[in-house]
Structure 1
Amino acid sequence: MIARAFYIPKDGKDGEDANFVANGWGVIGGIDAGIFARQLMKHSAALVKRWPCGLSNPVEILEEALSKTTAKGTSTACVLSLKGKWLHAAVLGDSGFAVVRNKVIYRSPDQQSEFNAPYQLGKASPTSCSTLDALRITVAVKTGDLVVLGTDGLFDNMYNKELEGVIASSLRDGQDSPEGLARNIAEEAHKLSLEAGRESPFYLKCVEEHGKEKCPPGGKRDDITVIVARVTCTCG
């Protein structure tokens, strides 16, 4: 599998998201402090690299990475690995992934205690979640499939059809590299996040819980991290 990442911070600074691309891939959406997210991803990447033959348990990677993280804070998390034809994932909160085979054939659910209050991994408070709360997901993939990982800055602003449209347009223009696809998806999500009056996924979630009178339409300005991976082989 070939994977590349692209990141757009909300305020043009370091931001709070983090990601890694190694023998596995992951995105972390920082909640309280970007340093926590970056430490967690650094340790996750180091642990993944210990297994050159492939990793099949992202939950254990998150568990050990969390134990090595000293910074205070919380974050959402999505860590994936490929073993043969099986894509294994640990998802906690509203970071997530989609598998695209011309269209989105799978999209991971998010975990929220209430609107805009995702489950959070960390050590900051007694209410923080542990890796025991993570969703354990296994999806069968085929050679040529695209796997799109993202923090909530992506999925709060972009519907599946819009994601499919960006990918289709990019492929028509010859921008078929994971790096180019990740950039195009992130830039489109950023553009959508700035659209006032738009009925974004974030807006519709708000309406569902609180009603239209309490939810101004529009996108959600946020850090946006996107990783795109192409499945090149389902052997092994």
Structure 2
Amino acid sequence: MHNKASGEGALKMACGAFYLPKRNIQKPEDAHFIYAGTMGVADGVGGWAEKGVDAREYARQLMRNAMISIQQRHNRGVEPRKVLEEAFLSTKAKGSSTACILTLNKCGYLHAVNVGDSGFMIFRNKKLMYKSPVQQHNFNCPYQLGNHKNSDRPCSATEVKVEVVPGDIIVLGTDGLMDNMYTEEIEDEIKKTTLECVNPKQLAWTIAELALYNSMNKYFLSPFAKASELAGKKRMGGKIDDITVAVGHILP
């Protein structure tokens, strides 16, 4: 994805994204988009591969349909929940997926909707200011959209609006990021940048590479390993997974 500076009203958001596959680049599970001040990520549930279903196809269709919805309603303003609902109704592929869509609205708020264990963080003055909550039915079983009877629906999504200011950095990611990096580690990378020279795509690439490194470290007490312990399933190491990171930089 190319960097784009866009948004509505006084503030703008420059965006960039980077994706790293779990193992086989020919069979990715994540999908994402960046369009007109809006970013979205989705993580196709890999378990569908055991049933002969392309685990990414649902996620890919969902994100493509979300972008189409945004294109159709751009002059009316982007409403993430409605975008997610329209994308969900238009997605007919087999499978299921988590999803997180966020946009910079004309009032200077980051408006987001999230289903599952993807999510986003807002950093202000290079410190964590906000982190979206995770939606899980139980450990390692996130909410997920799909067309089968046990799937969750957009009405279950968490919706939030958070005021942002120039200089804020938004880091959006699938669980491949969230399960393998602590917010303090992301803060450390943001501290290496100057707010006047933030390159969203470069920062997304750096964060994704660090998440990949952590995922392969068998001795790292990762966020996923900590969550496993709390669930009574002791383990060490990172979680090998597809990793998608999108970064937004709020501009005046």
TM-score, scaled to structure 2: 0.86
Query: What residue in structure 2 maps to residue 186 of structure 1?
Result: 208
Deviation at 1:85, TM superposition (A): 1.2
Inter-CA distance 225–55: structure 2 relative to 1 (3 Å threshold)? farther
Structure 2 matches for 1:30-41, cutoff 5 A? Answer: 30-31=44-45, 32=48, 33-41=55-63
Asked if 1:142 is matched to 2:175, the reply is no
- One-letter code of the match for 1:204? K
- Which residue, out of 207, 224, 235, partners 2:243? 224
Deviations 1:170-223 (CA, angstroms, capped at 9, x unpaired): x16x9720010000010010001111121110001010011xxx3220000000
Asked if 1:156 is matched to 2:182, the reply is no
Deviation at 1:144, TM superposition (A): 1.2
Contact kept? 1:175, 1:181, Cα under 8 Å: no
Tell me, in whole angstroms, the C-alpha distance in 2 between the residues paired with 1:139 and 1:81: 11
- One-letter code of the match for 1:138? K
Deviations 1:67-112 (CA, angstroms, capped at 9, x unpaired): 1111111100100011121111101100000001111100001011
- One-letter code of the match for 1:9? P
- Which residue, out of 145, 153, 172, partners 1:121? 145
Query: What residue in structure 1 maps to residue 9 of structure 2?
Result: none
- One-letter code of the match for 2:236? P
Q: Which runs of 5+ in 1 are unaligned?
A: none
Tell me, in whole angstroms, the C-alpha distance in 2 between the residues paired with 1:55 and 1:119: 27
Deviation at 1:44, TM superposition (A): 0.6
Structure 2 matches for 1:1-236, cutoff 5 A? Answer: 1-13=13-25, 14-23=27-36, 24-31=38-45, 32=48, 33-53=55-75, 55-83=77-105, 84-101=107-124, 102-123=126-147, 125-169=148-192, 171=193, 176-210=198-232, 214-233=233-252
Inter-CA distance 2–51: structure 2 relative to 1 (3 Å threshold)? farther
Contact kept? 1:54, 1:81, Cα under 8 Å: no
Deviates more, 1:33-42 or 1:54-63: 54-63
Instruction: Give runs of ≥4 in structure 1 deviating > 6 Å.
Output: none
Tell me, in whole angstroms, the C-alpha distance in 2 between the residues paired with 1:74 and 1:130: 11
Inter-CA distance 144–202: structure 2 relative to 1 (3 Å threshold)? same
Inter-CA distance 71–100: structure 2 relative to 1 (3 Å threshold)? same
SS at match of 2:104: strand
The percent identity for this pair of structures is: 43
Deviations 1:97-149 (CA, angstroms, capped at 9, x unpaired): 000111110000101111100000111x2210000000011101001111110
Contact kept? 1:55, 1:81, Cα under 8 Å: no
- One-letter code of the match for 2:146? G
- One-letter code of the match for 1:4? G
SS at match of 1:158: coil
Tell me, in whole angstroms, the C-alpha distance in 1 between the residues paired with 2:24 and 2:231: 31
- One-letter code of the match for 1:221? I
Tell me, in whole angstroms, the C-alpha distance in 1 between the residues paired with 2:173 and 2:201: 14
TM-score, scaled to structure 1: 0.92
SS at match of 1:50: helix
- How many corresponding residue pairs? 227
- One-letter code of the match for 1:21? I
C-alpha RMSD of matched pairs (Å): 1.5
Contact kept? 1:153, 1:222, Cα under 8 Å: yes
